[in-house]
Amino acid sequence: MLSIVIVTFNSAQFIKPCLDSIFKQQYQDFETIVVDNGSPDGTIDFIKKNHPAVKLIVNKENLGASCARNQGIRAASGEWILTLDCDVVLENGFLKEIMEFAKDRKDLVGIIQPKILTQDAKRIFSCGIGTCGLRRFYDIGYNLTDATRFNVDVSVFGACCAAALYRRKTLEELKDKYGYFDERFFFLFEDADLSWRAQKKGWECLYYPKARCFHVGNSSSTDKLTRRYLSFRNRNLTILKNQNPILTLFMSPLYLLYDLPRFLFLAMKFKCRFPKFYQSQL
């Protein structure tokens, strides 16, 4: 069975098309779990009224996407877990396509990345996570026009958890005291971290373009400054956690040159203080 885990936060305008696209799929051997992070906008009432089959977990406050996703995974029964952002809409046939692909994969394939397109289907949102020598992580193909070169099955560094299929066995092997997804991250880069940890354990991540979905992006309306702070902090935590310490030490002068402008910018904006809301996440 497949378990679909969706995290919501003030998602009333997005959750209807997301759930509608799930429940009209031809493939029906799945359960749907929605974890709400304290939405006051009617998201919970809508789900209860219109989709009573959904298993709903309600948090009193925003615990972050990583924590909420972990709650959903713990409550899931499936051999495979599909994580979805609440503003993702599945193409017709998505579940059948990706599950047939998953069944035929060798045991060392632990993560499958579908093709994530923008809402208008004209551009790529993500074909998986890529990285470079300076350990800058990025969505492969982001904002590029969908083209033939994005229609090839290929191994990638990792999967964008806005829409990603994880083998249950993989997640259980990766789980530690911080959860499946590292709850210290709150959100951003938690998928890169999990993908890197999976890679180190010998699990492969495959990009499968025939399974397509459509993503709005930033449905939580997080302000740009907070996103910059979390991106800076979580990228560096990802490196410190996963990279060989000797290599990190060797690369530190280059990392410093790359990150110093961002650090100074954030220090100036926050006046050397982190936002109160995120202090507990450090």
Query: Between 261 and 243, whose confidence is greater?
Result: 243
- Distance from CA of residue 153 to its chain's centroid? 20
Q: What is the pLDDT of residues 128-164, one digit of tens each?
A: 999 988 888 999 999 999 988 999 999 999 999 999 9
Query: Between 193 and 107, whose confidence is greater?
Result: 193
Structure-token pair, residue 247: 């290599």
Identify the pLDDT of residue 270: 59
Q: Residue range 182-196: average pLDDT? A: 95
Identify the pLDDT of residue 233: 87
Q: What is the pLDDT of residues 86-112, one digit of tens each?
A: 999 999 999 999 999 999 888 899 999
Q: Residue range 170-188: average pLDDT? A: 95
Q: Residue range 45-63: average pLDDT? A: 95
Cα distances from 7 to residues 42, 53, 107, 246, 268, in angstroms, run: 15, 16, 28, 37, 32
For the ranges 33-42, 159-168, 223-232, 254-263, the lowest mean pLDDT is seen at: 254-263
**Residue 119 pLDDT > 50:** yes
Q: What is the pLDDT of residues 214-255, one digit of tens each?
A: 998 766 666 777 788 888 889 989 999 999 999 888 888 877
**Residue 271 pLDDT > 70:** no
For residues 1 and 7, what is the distance between their CA atoms, to the nearest angstrom?
20
E strands of the chain, at which residues?
Answer: 2-8, 30-37, 55-59, 80-85, 88-90, 109-118, 124-126, 129-131, 137-139, 154-155, 163-167, 204-215
- Between CA 238 and CA 242, with CA 239 as vertex, the angle to 5 degrees is 80
Is the CB of residue 218 less than 8 Å from the CB of residue 226? no
